[in-house]
């Protein structure tokens, strides 16, 4: 409880600094700086609250150590399913995904960046990882530039008279991880980078921020739609720009839907003519079923006692929806009947969607909606996951010219670089329990590590 009181003291101190005049000016300044830096998700401001999120160092270290333990179990999972097709079936892969994994069987670094979406209740030392974004983790550029914005706000300047603060910047670490992996892959020359995504996605502003950082670090970079690429004479080209590194932000599922697996981008990857990050096999861990694999009693013998300690502590009970018996705690249950009868305990998630699409929170759903989604899950791959208590904190915002300080849900989404280094953290806040900016609500706020002076 000591950690909670201290953090709450820091939050209260920050809020006490928000006089009517300070809050009004901070809101105006925030919106102006967001506009200048195009920090919008589509046409929505990326952030509308006036406070960042805080951790004390010991809390941040607890979060890092817990997730680094889980990463060991994910690495073990990845190694097993890459070589064993029968185990791989538990991830409910599509045919095109099976074909793609052969592209990088010998790849030394399947992912250079990933993101673990968690709920961290600091006071209870409860940390639960509910998803692993191992394919194309978003938000890295947003997090860094939002920190630059908040550093200029008057409340943050006043706050630093009492507290030392350290922002959790990540673009530099991302750049180092990509170049290191490129060298390990076999790249020797100074590379040029292609940030590849569709030209109509609402995250192009984040790609632009990342491009600026890569170029300041000395690596020529282009943003390109995969449909505009050419693969000729063993080179992947965007117009007259040679791409040595693909920083892939387009999803493999959407690439397959629009272009199939024979296209200039993947042909170049298949021929080892270009380095791609994250590579096709990273998709294995991005499946929601990867968490079911970790927590399923069928796979117990694959993991060490240390792995199980971290899995039990930090992975909520998760199962692929199918007609079977399984264990819930020490109890053997009929999975379908048990989930149908206890919707208030569970959430249903499509195995391979993003942005909150298709997610149904049982405690908010009607009986009819829950039953209908379960029926859908019998023919479309879904997982069921045990409910994790939401984390709530007070955040200030201006509403109709008046300062409002009220509770919002928040999560903790740390980034992982090189598959092992937990560094930096995306924080999302929302008035709704489903925290996803892509889904149409909430804010992203920068994360700071603080110390009382």
Helix axes of 305-314 and 57-83: crossing angle, nearest 10 degrees:
120
Residue 330 class from Cβ within 10 Å (0-12 exposed, 13-18 middle, 19+ buried)? exposed
Residue pointed to by tokens 């829950």: 370
Of 273, 171, 277, give the one whose Cα is nearest residue 214: 171
C-alpha torsion angle, residues 218, 223, 229, 234 (rounded to 10): 20
Taking the domain 317-386, which CATH number applies? Answer: 3.30.1490
Measure the CA–CA gap between 314 and 316, rounded to whole angstroms.
7
Quick one: tokens of 141? 């550029």
Measure the CA–CA gap between 32 and 28, rounded to whole angstroms.
6
Q: Can you list the alpha helix ranges (DSSP code H) found in 186-274? A: 204-216, 252-259, 264-270
Long-range contacts of 303-311 (CB under 8 A, 24+ apart): 303/73, 303/76, 304/76, 306/69, 306/72, 307/69, 307/72, 307/73, 307/76, 309/69, 310/66, 310/69, 310/70, 310/72, 310/73, 311/70, 311/73
Cα-Cα end-to-end distance for the chain: 21
CB 217 within 8 A of CB 175: yes
- DSSP three-state, residue 294: helix
Q: What is the CB neighbour count within 10 angstroms for residue 399? A: 10
E strand or H helix at 155: helix 154-159
Q: What percent of the chain is predicted at pLDDT more than 90? A: 84
Measure the CA–CA gap between 84 and 318, rounded to whole angstroms.
22
Measure the CA–CA gap between 23 and 346, rounded to whole angstroms.
39
CB 198 within 8 A of CB 250: yes
Q: What is the CB neighbour count within 10 angstroms for residue 36? A: 9
DSSP 8-state assignment for residue 143: H
Domains of the chain, by residue range, sit at: 2-286+391-452, 317-386
C-alpha torsion angle, residues 427, 430, 433, 435 (rounded to 10): -50
Residue pointed to by tokens 């890569």: 214
Tens digit of each residue's pLDDT (9 = 90 or more) over 281-335: 999 999 999 999 999 999 999 999 999 999 999 999 999 999 999 999 999 999 9
> For each of the chain's 453 residues, which pLDDT tens digit applies?
444 448 999 999 999 999 999 999 999 999 999 989 888 765 678 999 999 999 999 999 999 999 999 999 999 999 999 989 999 999 999 999 988 887 876 666 688 999 999 999 998 999 999 999 999 999 998 889 999 999 999 999 999 999 999 998 999 999 999 999 999 999 988 999 999 999 998 888 999 999 999 999 999 999 999 999 999 999 999 999 999 999 999 999 999 999 999 999 999 999 999 999 999 999 999 999 999 999 999 999 999 999 999 999 999 999 999 999 999 999 999 999 999 999 999 999 999 987 678 899 999 999 999 999 999 999 999 999 999 988 999 999 999 999 999 999 999 999 999 999 999 999 999 887 655 544 445 789 999 999 998
Measure the CA–CA gap between 11 and 398, rounded to whole angstroms.
17
Beta-strand pair 245-248/193-196: parallel
Measure the CA–CA gap between 277 and 25, rounded to whole angstroms.
42
Of 413, 119, 414, 114, give the one whose Cα is nearest residue 285: 114
C-alpha torsion angle, residues 293, 295, 301, 302 (rounded to 10): 40
Predicted local confidence at residue 2, as pLDDT = 43
For residue 278, say if its preceding peptide bond is cis, omega within 30 degrees of 0: yes
Measure the CA–CA gap between 248 and 150, rounded to whole angstroms.
29
Quick one: tokens of 22? 């300070």
Count of alpha carbons within 13 Å of 333, Cβ hemisphere only? 15
Quick one: tokens of 62? 């607890």
Of 259, 271, 204, give the one whose Cα is nearest residue 229: 259
């Amino acid at each position: 409880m000591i950690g909670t009181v201290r953090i709450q003291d820091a939050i209260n101190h920050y809020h006490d600094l928000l006089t009517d005049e300070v809050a009004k000016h901070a809101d105006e300044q925030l919106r102006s700086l967001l506009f200048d830096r195009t920090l919008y998700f589509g046409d929505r401001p990326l952030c509308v609250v006036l406070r960042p999120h805080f951790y004390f160092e010991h809390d941040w270290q607890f979060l890092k150590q817990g997730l680094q333990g889980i990463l060991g179990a994910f690495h073990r999972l990845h190694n097993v399913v890459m070589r064993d097709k029968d185990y791989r079936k538990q991830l409910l892969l599509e045919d095109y995904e099976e074909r793609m994994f052969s592209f990088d069987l010998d790849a030394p670094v399947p992912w250079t960046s990933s993101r673990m979406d968690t709920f961290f209740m600091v006071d209870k030392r409860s940390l639960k990882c509910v998803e692993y974004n191992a394919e194309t983790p978003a938000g890295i550029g947003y997090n860094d530039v939002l920190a630059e914005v908040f550093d200029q706000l008057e409340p943050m300047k006043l706050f630093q008279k009492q507290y030392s603060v350290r922002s959790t910047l990540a673009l530099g670490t991302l750049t180092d991880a990509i170049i290191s992996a490129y060298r390990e892959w076999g790249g020797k020359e100074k590379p040029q980078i292609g940030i590849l995504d569709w030209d109509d996605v609402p995250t192009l502003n984040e790609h632009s921020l990342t491009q600026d950082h890569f170029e300041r670090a000395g690596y020529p970079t282009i943003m390109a739609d995969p449909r505009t690429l050419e693969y000729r004479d063993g080179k992947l080209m965007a117009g007259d720009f040679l791409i040595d590194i693909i920083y892939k932000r387009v999803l493999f599922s959407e690439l397959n839907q629009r272009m199939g697996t024979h296209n200039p981008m993947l042909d170049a990857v298949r021929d080892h003519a270009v380095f791609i990050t994250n590579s096709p096999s990273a998709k294995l861990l991005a499946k929601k079923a990867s968490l079911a694999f970790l927590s399923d009693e069928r796979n117990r013998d694959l993991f060490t006692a240390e792995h199980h300690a971290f899995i039990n502590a930090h992975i909520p009970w998760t199962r692929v929806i199918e007609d079977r018996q399984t264990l819930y705690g020490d109890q053997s249950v009929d999975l379908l009947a048990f989930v149908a009868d206890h919707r208030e305990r569970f959430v249903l998630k499509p195995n391979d969607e993003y942005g909150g699409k298709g997610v149904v929170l049982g405690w908010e759903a009607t009986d009819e909606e829950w039953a209908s989604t379960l029926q859908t899950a019998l023919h479309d791959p879904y997982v069921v996951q045990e409910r994790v208590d939401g984390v709530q904190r007070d955040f200030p915002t201006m509403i109709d010219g008046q300062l409002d300080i009220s509770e919002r849900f928040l999560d903790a989404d740390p980034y992982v670089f090189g598959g092992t280094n937990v560094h930096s953290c995306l924080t999302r806040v929302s008035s709704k329990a489903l925290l996803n900016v892509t889904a149409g609500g909430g804010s992203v706020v920068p994360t700071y590590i603080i110390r009382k002076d």
